Amino acid sequence: MLTIMKFLKPYRWQIVFIILFTLGGTTLELLLPTLMAEVVDVGIVNSDLPYILQTGGWMIACAVLAVIFTVAVMFFSSKTALGFSKDVRRSLFTKVESFSLQEVEKVGTASLITRTTNDIKQVQDVLNMIFNMMTRAPLMLLGGIILAVMREPSLSLIFLASLPALALTIILISRKAIPLFKVLQKKTDRLNLILRETLTGIRVVRGFNRVEYEKKRFNEANEQFRDTGIKVNRIIAFVFPLMMLIMNFTNIAIVWLGAVRIDNGVMQVGNLMAFLQYAAMILMSLVMLSMAFIMIPRAQASAVRINEVLQLSPDMKNPDEPETEIAAAGTVAFQNVTFRYNGAEKAAVENISFKAEAGKTTAIIGSTGSGKTTLIQLIPRFYDVESGSIAVDGVDIRKMSVKHLRGKIGYVPQRAVLFSGTIAENVRFGKEDATDQEVAAALETAQAIDFVTEKEQGTSTAVSQGGGNLSGGQKQRLSIARALVRKPDIYIFDDSFSALDYKTDAKLRKALKEQTKKATFIIVAQRVNTVRDADQIIVLNEGKIAGIGTHQELLESCTIYQEIVSSQRTEEESA
Amino acid sequence: MTEQKENQHNTPSSKPRRSGPGPMPGPGPGPSPMMPGEKPKEFKKTLIRLTKYLKPRKIQLIFVLIAAVFATLFNVISPKVLGDATTSLFNSFTEGTAVDFRYIVQLVLILFGLYSLSSLFAFLQQYIMAGISQWTIAEMREEVNEKLTRLPLRYFDKQQHGDILSRAVNDIDNINNSLQQALTQVITSVITVIGILIMMLIINPLLTLVVVITIPLSLIVVRIVTSFSQSHFMKQQHELGQINGHVEEMFTGHQVVKAYGHEEKAVAQFDEINDRLYQAGWKAQFFSGLMMPLIMFVNNLGYVFVSIVGGIFVMNGTIRIGDVQAFIQYSRQISQPMAQIASIANMIQTAIASAERIFTLLDEAEETPEQPANIDLEQLRGEVTFENIHFGYEKDQPIIEEMDIEVAEGQTVAIVGPTGAGKTTLINLLMRFYELDKGSIKIDDVVLTDISREEARSMFAMVLQDTWLFNGTIRENIAYGREGATETEIVQAAKSAYADDFIRTLPDGYDTVLGEDASNISQGQRQLLTIARAILSNPKILILDEATSSVDTRTEMNIQKAMNQLMAGHTCFVIAHRLSTIRDADLILVMNHGRIIEQGTHEELLEKHGFYADLYYSQFSEAITAS
C-alpha cells in the first residue's frame, strides 16, 4: 500500500490543501454546538435577544464557511484520487506493454486485466474514502475529545468505557463477517460456474437427458449460497442496532451524571447539551474510522497486486548499439538453442540447431507439447534463449533492436487475434501506411477477399472485440492477411490453417506459395500433408530435434517421423 | 441536549445510512446511487408481479413491518423524553431549585427502555429480513434455472449466453439488493417522516413550520446535484467500459501487439481514453460528493433557525427549552430520509427493470411437456427414416425441403461440407433440439414426435468437437453418460475409449477434478473422455463430430481407434473430415449454405461432377497423389 502511495507525490500540494480545508471545516462544525451552548447559557438564561441573534449570525457564518471548505475538500480530493488512479493505470499499462511473453505468462493475462481495471478502481475508491473520511474522522475525534475534556474533564471519563466498547463491537462483528464474505464470494462463483456450464453444454445436458442432474447440482449450490447469505446478513443485522445502543446508553449516562453535576452547581445546562453533541461526534468518528480500517485491507490486496506488476522488470534489454545485418535478408539460424520457461525443470526446447533460408520452406512437425510453438516464438524474441543463439540475417537477435527484428517478421499465431476496428484497420495492423490496393491484395492472397466483399461495407466492416462477429476461419484468414500486408522477409505460421476447410486451405497455400517466393517460410504443422513439400522438415520430439530433412529423407531415416506418417496414414492409405 | 444522530449529517463523507444489511458481494457491480437507473417499461405491473414472490413469506414480512414500526416509533419518541429531562434540568437551574431527581430517574428509565426496545426491534427487523430476501431470491433463481431447462434450444442459439447469465446473476442480484435495503428503508422512512411530523405538531406547530421549510430545500439540492452528476456518471461508465475493453484487447492480443510493434500506439490510444476517463471521473466524483455537504448545509441552516427561533420562543415562554432540543433532533432525523430518496428510488427502479428482464425470460414460450410413450425402446434396431421433411430456422427461410433419407441399421451417414455449412442442423433435428416444420423422422417405425423428447434422446449418444465436460471428477464426467452406472462400467467405458491409460497416469486417477473448462487435461484427452461418456450411454444411434483441431498424433490415433470401436455395429451420423470415413460411408450428405445440396454414395457423387466432386478433388488431391 505504501509503495503505491508514491504516485501521490505530484499531488502533495493538493493533499496539503485537503488536510487544511478539512481541518477548517471540522473546526467550524465543532464550533456549532459550542455556539448553541452559548445561546442557551447566556442568551436564554439572561433573556438577551440581541445576543441570541448575534450568535445565530455567527452560527450561520460558520455553516456557510464549513460548506465552502467541504466543497473545496471534495474538489481537491476527487481530482487527486482520480488523477492518482489515472497515473497508476497508465504506468501499469505502459509497463505491461513493455513485457515480453515471459512476464505476461508469469502473471497471467486475465490477472493482468483485473489488475489494470478492478484493482485500480478498488484503490481509487479507498483513496477517495481516505481523503474524505480518514482525514476528517481523526480530526473530528481529536477535536471532539479536546473540546469535551476542556468543558467537562470528569464527565469525559465516560468515553473510556464507551469508546472501547464501540471499537470492540465493530472488531468482533467484522472478524466474524469478513471470512463469511469470502465464503459467500466462493459460493457465488460456484453458482455462476454451474450456470455457465449448463448453458454452454446445453446440447450435451439434454442429449444425455441429465436435466434433472443439473437441476440438482444447481439447487445444491443455490441453497448453499442462500444459507451463507442468510448467515452473513444476520451477523450484519447486529451492527447498526448495537452501535445505536452503545451511543444512546452513553447519552443516558451523560444526562444522568450531568444532572448530578448540575445539581451540585458545577455545570451549566448549555454545556451539557454541547457535551452530548460532542459525544455523538466522537463516537461517529470512531465508527467511521473503524469502517475505514475494515476497507483498507481490501485495497491493500489490490495495491499489492498492482505493485507486483510494477516491480516486475522485463529482463529483455534492447542493445545499446545495434549491429547491422551481414547475411542475406531472411536467413534464420539457430545455434545450439536451449530454452526453458520460468521455473520449469525441463527445457522446452533443447540444443536446437538449424538454418532457414530465403525462398525456402522450413516445416516443423511433432506432437503436442514437443516444443514447436516455443521454438518459433523464440524468433521474434518473445522469449530470450537460455543458451545458444539465434541469428537473423547473420546478426544475433539480441544485438538487434527488437523493433527492427520484429519488423522483418510476419507472424501468424495459432489462435487468430483480431482487434476491434474495421477489417481494413486490422489488416493495416501489419503495416500502418498500407494503401487500399495493398490491403486488398493481402486479403486476396489470404483468401479473405470473397467474404469481405460479400459484406455490405467491405473492408470498412466493423470487427467487434476479439473478432466475435467473424467465424474462426474468417478470423484466421484476416490474421494471415495482416502478416501478408507487411511483405516481410520471414513468415512464421503457427499451425495457422486449422480453422479453414480443406478447399480454402488448399487455395490459400497455393496462393501463398506464389506470393512468398523470395521470403523465408517457417511453418508449424500437425499433418504430414501440410509439410510434405517443404524444403526441410524438422521433426521435434520432447523439445529435441529428432530429425531434419526432406519428406523422403525422413521417411527413410527418422523413426519418429515414420510413426507420425503411419498414424496419419490409416486414413490416407486407401486414397 | 442530545444530538444522537447529528454526525450522520454533519459529516459529508458518511455515506447515506443504509438501514438494511450490508452490501452483498455479488458478481456484478450494484447500482450506484448516483447512476441513473434503467427505466422499466411497465413499472406497476412488474411491481405487482414481484410482490407475489414475497407472498409465501407474508407472515414474516408482517413481522418485519411491525418491528420496523416499533423500532422507528421508539426512536421518534425518545427525543421528546430527552427534551423533558433537559427542561426539568433547565428549570431547576434557572429557578435555582434542586434537580428533581425522581423525575429524572423516571425519564432515564423510560429512555433506557425506549432505546433498548428500538435497537431490539431494529435488529429483529433486519434479522428476519435477511431470511426473507435470501429465500425469495433463491426461489427466484431456482425458478429461472427451471425455466431454462424447459426452453427450447432455439432460445439458447439466438440469445447470447452472456445475456442469459447476466439475467440469472446480475439482475437477480439487483433485486436482492433492493429487497434487502430499499424495502426496509422505505418502510422506516415513511414511518419516520409521519411520526416526526406528528410529534413536532404536538409540541409546537409554529416551530414545525420552520423545520418543514428546509425539506423542499433539501429536495431541490438533491435534484440539482443528481442532474449534474448523472451525466458525468454516465460518461464515466462509458469511458470505463472503453478503457476496460482496450486493456482486455491489448493484453489478450499481447503476442500480436508485440509481433507487429504496436506497443506505442496502444499506449497512445490508452492515454486518450484514460484522460477522458479522468475528466469524467473526477467531475462525477465531485458532483456526487457535493450531495452530502449541501444537504448538511441545509440541515445546519435548519439547526441555526431552530436554535434562534426556539430561543426566542423560550424567552416568550411559548415553548420549553427541552422542546427546542427535541426539535433540533427531529429536524436532523426528518432530513435523513429526504437525502436518501434519490438513491432509494434509483435502487427500486433498477430492481424493477431487472425484474422486468427476468419476467420476460420467465414468459418465453416453453417446449410443450410430453408424456413417455408406451413403447419398448429397447426393441428398436436403429433404422432411421426421414420422410419428406421440411425445416428452417426461420419460418420464411426453409433450408431443408422435401428430404427423404433411409438409413439401415448399422449404416454410417457422413455429413460433409465447408465450415459454416450448417452441418449441425441434422443433429438438431435428430436429437429433437429443433422440431420439424413438416414430415417426420422415424426410428424403425416409431415417429420421433410420438415419444417424449427424453425418450428420443436416450436412443442417441453424441461426441461433439466442442468437448463439453463439467467441473467435477473424471469419474463423474464419464458417468454422465448414463444415470446409475457402476464403477466397473465406468472403467470399462474408459478402457474402450482408450482413456483409461492416461487417466491412471494422473495423480488422482478417476478422482481427478477437472478444472473450469477442463483446462487441466489436453484437448485430445477431453475428446477421449467424451467418447467414454458416449460409450457408457450405450445408444442405438451415434452422432459424431470428427475433430479437425490439432491434437497430437498419438492421442489422435487413440481417438480414431475409440471412435471406430464406438461406431462398430451402430447406426452413425458423422460430421466427417476424414477421407476414410467419408469414402466408407453408406450415404454422404453434402451441405452448403445451410442446405443439403447433394446426397449419395462416394462413387455416385463423384460421377455427378458436382459440388462434392469439386470439394473432394481440391481437398484430398495431395493425399491422393501421394499414395
- How many angstroms separate the CA atoms of B604 and A397, rounded? 57
Helix, strand, or coil (residue A389): strand
- B513 Cβ under 8 Å from any chain A Cβ: no
Which residue of chain B has the CA closest to A276? B2
Partner residue opposite B420 with nearest CB, options A64, A471, A572 = A471
Higher pLDDT, B15 or B395: B395
For residue B591, which phi and psi values (nearest 5 degrees)? Answer: -115, 145
Residues of A in contact with B137 (CB under 8 A): 226, 229
Considering only the beta carbons, identify the residue of B26, B259, B549 that sits closest to A380: B259
Distance CA A526, CA A546 (A): 15
User: Are the CB atoms for A323 and A398 separated by under 8 Å?
Assistant: no
Residue A538 has pLDDT above 90, yes or no: yes
Rounded to the nearest angstrom, the minimum Cα separation between B44 and chain A is 28
Grid coordinates belonging to A331: 536467413
Is the ipTM beyond the 0.85 threshold?
no
Express each pLDDT in B119-148 by its tens digit: 999 999 989 988 998 999 999 999 999 999
Residue (of A33, A28, A23, A215) closest to A138 by Cα position: A23
The set of long-range contacts for B433-438, using a CB threshold of 8 Å and a minimum separation of 24, is B433/A203, B433/A206, B433/B152, B433/B153, B434/B152, B434/B153, B434/B154, B434/B391, B434/B393, B436/B389, B436/B390, B436/B391, B437/B390, B437/B391, B437/B392, B437/B395, B437/B398, B438/B388, B438/B389, B438/B390
Q: Quick one: closest CA in B to A283, which residue?
A: B7
- Amino acid A545 reads I
In tens, the pLDDT along A132-150 reads 777 888 888 888 888 888 8
pLDDT attached to residue B140: 92
CB contact (8 A) between residue B266 and residue A60: no
Partner B, chain A 490-519, Cβ-Cβ below 8 Å: 495, 498-504, 506-507
Per CB-CB distance under 8 Å, the chain A contacts of B156 are: 199, 202
Average model confidence (pLDDT) for chain A? 84
Nearest CA in chain B to A182: B25
Number of neighbouring beta carbons within 10 Å of residue B546? 17
The answer to whether the CB atoms of A215 and B164 lie below 8 A apart is no
For A:142-171, CB contacts with B below 8 A are none
- Map residue A400 onto helix, strand or coil: coil
Q: Which domains are assigned to chain A?
A: 3-311 (1.20.1560.10), 325-408+489-575 (3.40.50.300), 417-487 (3.40.50.300)
**B82–A251 CB contact, under 8 Å:** yes
Q: How confident is the model at residue A567 (pLDDT cuts 50, 70, 90)?
A: low
Q: In this predicted structure, what is the pLDDT of residue B547?
A: 61
Q: Give the mean pLDDT of B348-371.
A: 86
Q: What is the average per-residue pLDDT within A513-528?
A: 82
- Tens digits of residue pLDDT in B464-474: 777 788 888 99
Inform me whether the C-beta atom of residue A281 falls under 8 Å from chain B C-beta atoms: yes
Q: pTM of the predicted model, to two decimals? A: 0.71
Measure the CA–CA gap between A265 and B271, rounded to whole angstroms: 68
Q: Percentage of chain B surpassing pLDDT 90?
A: 9
Give the mutation candidate from B100, B285, B548 for the A interface (greatest A CB count, under 10 A).
B285
**Tell me, what's the pLDDT at A88?**
92
- pLDDT at position A228 is 92
**HSE-up (13 A, CA, CB side) for residue A451:** 18
Of B254, B303, B471, the CB nearest to A109: B254
Spacing of C-alpha B116 from chain mean position: 40
Sheet of B438-443, strands arranged across: B400-407, B384-391, B438-443, B446-447
Q: Write down the H helix ranges in A372-456.
A: 372-377, 402-407, 423-428, 436-445, 449-454
User: Does A341 lie at the interface with B, CB-CB under 8 angstroms?
Assistant: no
Residue B4 to residue A100, Cβ atoms within 8 A: no
pLDDT class for B459, splitting at 50, 70, 90?
Answer: confident
- Interface size A-B, in CB pairs within 8 Å, comes to 492
pLDDT the model gives residue B28? 34
- On whether any CB of chain B is under 8 Å from the CB of A415, the answer is no
Q: Do A255 and B294 touch (CB under 8 A)?
A: no
B21 part of contact set with chain A, CB < 8 Å: yes
Confidence of residue A368 (pLDDT cuts 50, 70, 90): low
Q: For residue B418, what pLDDT is reported?
A: 67
B504-513 confidence digits (pLDDT tens): 887 788 888 8
Higher-confidence residue: B607 or A273? Answer: B607
Q: What mean pLDDT do residues B89-114 have?
A: 85
Predicted local confidence at residue B271, as pLDDT:
94
| CB-based contact A89 B243, cutoff 8 Å | yes
Q: Which of B249, B289, B580 is facing A419, going by the closest CB pair?
A: B249
- The C-alpha cell at A393 is 540475417
Task: Answer whether residue A116 shows pLDDT above 50.
Answer: yes
Query: Which CATH code fits B21-32+41-204+342-364?
Result: 1.20.1560.10
Q: Which of residues 531-570 of A touch B (CB under 8 A)?
A: 532, 563-564, 567-570
A568 contacts B3? CB cut-off 8 A: no
Q: What is the mean pLDDT of residues B157-181?
A: 80
Which of A1-10, B255-264, B336-345 bottoms out in mean pLDDT, i.e. has the lowest?
Answer: B336-345
Alpha-carbon distance of A40 to A60, in angstroms, equals: 17
Q: What does the pLDDT average to over A27-34?
A: 84
Selecting from A81, A192, A419 the residue whose C-beta is nearest the C-beta of B27 gives A192
DSSP sequence for B486-542: -HHHHHHHHHHTT-HHHHHHSTTGGGPBP-GGGTTS-HHHHHHHHHHHHHHT--SEE
Chain B within 8 Å of A23 (Cβ-Cβ)?
no
User: What per-residue confidence (pLDDT) applies to B9?
Assistant: 35
Q: Nearest C-alpha of chain A: how many angstroms from B518?
A: 11
Across A289-309, average pLDDT: 80
Q: Average of pLDDT values for B614-625? A: 56
> Quick one: pLDDT band at residue B518, thresholds 50, 70, 90?
low
pLDDT score of A48: 83
Backbone angles phi, psi at A554, to 5 degrees: -70, -35
For the cut 70, the answer to whether the pLDDT of residue B26 exceeds it is: no
Highest mean pLDDT among A310-324, B9-23, B272-286: B272-286
DSSP-based three-state secondary structure for A338: strand
- Where along chain B do its domains lie? 21-32+41-204+342-364, 205-318, 460-538
Establish if B308 touches chain A: CB-CB under 8 angstroms: yes
Residue B420 touches chain A, beta carbons under 8 Å: yes
Considering only alpha carbons, which residue of chain A is nearest residue B535? A208
Is domain B460-538 annotated with CATH 3.40.190.10? no
Distance (Å, whole) CA A194 – CA B516: 10
Crossing angle of helices B553-567/B523-536, nearest 10°? 10
Residues A134/A292, Cβ–Cβ less than 8 Å: yes
Split at pLDDT 50, 70, 90, the class of A574 is very low
Taking contacts as CB-CB distances below 8 angstroms, the residues of chain B near A111 are none
The C-alpha atoms of residue A418 and residue A448 are separated, in whole angstroms, by 14
B460-538 has the same fold as B21-32+41-204+342-364: no
Q: What is the pLDDT of residue A224?
A: 93
Residue-level pLDDT at B121: 92
Beta bridge mates, A333? A355, A391
Task: Give the C-alpha separation, A34 to A161, whole Å.
Answer: 24
Closest CA to A88 of B278, B268, B233: B278
Q: What is the spatial distance between Cα B297 and Cα B397, in angstroms, rounded to a whole number?
A: 66
Task: State which residue of chain A sits closest to B582, comparing Cα positions.
Answer: A571
User: By CA distance, what is A485's nearest residue in B?
Assistant: B260
Q: How much is the pLDDT for B14?
A: 32
* Inter-CA distances, B603 with A404, B575, B578, B584, B586, Å: 55, 19, 16, 10, 11
Q: What is the mean pLDDT of residues B168-190?
A: 82
Q: Do A104 and B21 touch (CB under 8 A)?
A: no
Task: Please tell me which of the candidates A49, A63, A572 has its beta carbon nearest to residue B312.
Answer: A49
* SS3 (DSSP) at B484: coil
Whether A202 and chain B come into contact, CB under 8 Å, resolves to yes
Question: How many Å apart are CA B203 and CA B212, to the nearest integer?
Answer: 14
A526 touches chain B (CB under 8 A): yes
Q: Do B285 and A370 touch (CB under 8 A)?
A: no
Asked which of A32-36, B114-118, B214-218, B583-587 is least confident by mean pLDDT, the reply is: B214-218
Q: Which amino acid is at A199?
A: L
CA-nearest of B267, B274, B265, B272 to B244 is: B274
Is the predicted pLDDT of residue B308 greater than 60, yes or no?
yes
CA separation for the pair A414, B550 (Å, rounded): 10
What's the alpha-carbon Rg for chain B, to the nearest Å?
36
**Distance from the B189 Cα atom to the nearest Cα atom in chain A, whole angstroms:** 16
pLDDT at B270: 93
What percentage of chain B has pLDDT greater than the value 70?
88
Q: Cβ of A570 and B580 within 8 Å?
A: yes
pLDDT at residue B464, rounded to an integer: 78
A 32-71 residues with CB < 8 A to B? 32-33, 36, 39-40, 43-45, 47, 49, 52-53, 56, 59-60, 63-64, 66-67, 70-71
Mean pLDDT for the stretch of residues B302-329: 83
Q: Model confidence at B85, in pLDDT bands (50, 70, 90)?
A: confident
Contacts of B82 in chain A (CB under 8 A): 251, 255
Q: How confident is the model at residue B18, as a pLDDT?
A: 32
B204 in Cβ contact with B327 (< 8 Å): yes
Residues of chain A numbered 70-89 and touching chain B (CB < 8 Å)? 70-71, 74-75, 77-79, 81-83, 85-86, 89
- CB-CB contact of A355 with A334 (8 Å): yes
- Please say if the pLDDT value at position B86 is more than 50: yes
Residue B36: pLDDT band (50, 70, 90) is low
What residues are paired with A548 via a beta bridge? A538
Residue with cell 455537504: B293
CA distance to A136, A268, A280, per residue, from A164 (Å): 20, 28, 15
* Per-residue pLDDT, B620: 53
Min Cα–Cα distance to chain B from A387, Å: 22
Give yes or no for a contact between A379 and A331, defined as CB atoms under 8 angstroms apart.
no
Going by C-beta distance under 8 Å and a sequence separation of 6 or more, which residues neighbour residue B247? A93, A113, A116, A117, B270
**What is the model's pLDDT at position A507?**
82
Question: Does residue B325 belong to the interface with chain A, where contact is any CB pair within 8 Å?
Answer: yes
Lowest mean pLDDT among A106-115, A253-262, A446-455, B436-445: A106-115
pLDDT in tens, A394-442: 889 888 888 888 889 999 987 788 888 889 988 998 888 889 999 999 9
> How many Å lie between the alpha carbon of B304 and the closest alpha carbon of chain A?
6
Which pLDDT value is given to residue B267? 93
Chain B nearest CA to A368, separation (Å): 5
To test the contact with chain B by mutation, choose from A45, A90, A93 the residue with the greatest count of B C-beta atoms within 10 A, namely: A93
